[in-house]
Each structure stands twice: as structure tokens, then as C-alpha cells.
Structure 1
């Protein structure tokens, strides 16, 4: 889907009055989780299940 840009006023109203779908994955290209509940946290925050992921693998 190509980006759609209008003007500043429309953009501000959109933040308040509508839903937004956009990709901000460029802000966190790498994320490291450590600790006994790392998988639990990833499963809670993520949109997919991490149960079959092995430590040190993507």
C-alpha cells in the first residue's frame, strides 16, 4: 500500500479521530531480551508465538 500524505491539519485530526496502520519497525531493528521470562514477554508483546524459537536463533 503506497503512503498517503495530505496536510498537517488532516494528519492531526487522523491521529485523534481514526485508526492508523503503519510500520515503525525501522525504529527497533534489533531487540535483545534476556532473563527467565524473555520468551514469556516476547509471546505477550508479539503478534506471533515464539514457543518454537530456540535461544540464539531468529
Structure 2
């Protein structure tokens, strides 16, 4: 488990395209429902996409 907090950008893909939900911690992002329409990225690392598995290491 990592101790350094990271910022996660969360978006949802819907009929209008990619919609931002906000910036949150890994723990907050993991508390969202496990739906395929949610996408996670690292805004401080060039918006690199990450998975829920990656987030678990920081929650």
C-alpha cells in the first residue's frame, strides 16, 4: 500500500460523450459504483488512464 495520496480525474461516458465528474482521491473514486461508463485518469501525469486495480494500491 502506498502512503502518498494521488489525485484522480473521474469521467463518465454517456450519450453526450465524455463528461467530467471531478477530481478526487483514489479512495473516493473506488467508492463509486463499478460501472463500465466510469473512467479514471491521472491529471498530474498527462491524463494517463488507470484501472480500479491501480487505484486500490493508493486507497
TM-score normalized by structure 1? 0.25
Greater RCO between the two (CA within 8 Å, min separation 6)? 2
Structure ID, larger Rg: 1
Higher strand fraction (1 or 2): 2
